[in-house]
A and B are shown apart, each in its own frame.
Chain A
Amino acid sequence: DAGVTQSPTHLIKTRGQQVTLRCSPKSGHDTVSWYQQALGQGPQFIFQYYEEEERQRGNFPDRFSGHQFPNYSSELNVNALLLGDSALYLCASSLGGQTNRYTFGSGTRLTVV
């Protein structure tokens, strides 16, 4: 039973570029949440997707956008990258409306230079 899969594992981008991160949820899960974790900090909520719609959003600028596909997989897009966007991006999946227990992926390490 595959857990949450994220790709790529590492990524280096230049300021001003755009990046797309991908997430496949755990089998049977239909809800995907994205978190940003800066070095030495706890994860910060970016947004959550359920039934292909953004259901909730954290305090992140519009440069951060996402999408959920019919197979429940999800993408996180970040435009006009800033140095401060360097972080570990974590995807978490869960089941249904209650989003009771989250399963996290191993993350994508994004470095902006």
Chain B
Amino acid sequence: KQEVTQIPAALSVPEGENLVLNCSFTDSAIYNLQWFRQDPGKGLTSLLLIQSSQREQTSGRLNASLDKSSGRSTLYIAASQPGDSATYLCAVKGPGTASKLTFGTGTRLQVTL
């Protein structure tokens, strides 16, 4: 059974800092890994998707890496801004056309002025 863990559970940083969020998963047989952002009480916004054959993906100030063999992914946020404050969730999709997403419990990020 796939299990996804995210560390830390919560993080508070001053504006302008670079930061790293961690995600680990127990079964390396994944199809892809996705990072999502969730604002309080809202749905999920997809940030980055990394296929199992890829090592990293970048979008603006965000960079996500994937080490499938060790079951780890990191989300790097450069030059953090107060608008980055949200919960960040990682999710892995198993192999197979019908495979579900398995989510971690998220990292709650607060960027202070």
Interface set of A (CB-CB < 8 Å, partner B): 4, 6, 33, 35, 40-45, 48, 50, 55-56, 58, 88, 90, 92, 97-107, 109
The reply to whether A56 and B42 contact each other, CB–CB distance below 8 Å, is no
The reply to whether A40 and B105 contact each other, CB–CB distance below 8 Å, is yes
Interface set of B (CB-CB < 8 Å, partner A): 4, 32, 34, 36, 41-46, 49, 89, 91, 93, 97-106
Q: Interface of chain B, helix or strand or loop or mixed?
A: strand
| Shortest distance from the beta carbon of A98 to any chain B beta carbon, whole Å | 6
A/B pair count, beta carbons within 8 Å = 63
The reply to whether B89 and A42 contact each other, CB–CB distance below 8 Å, is yes
Measured CA separation A42–B44 after assembly (Å) = 11
Measured CA separation A15–B58 after assembly (Å) = 46
Given A104-B43, A106-B43, A107-B43, A42 contacting B105 (CB threshold 8 A): yes
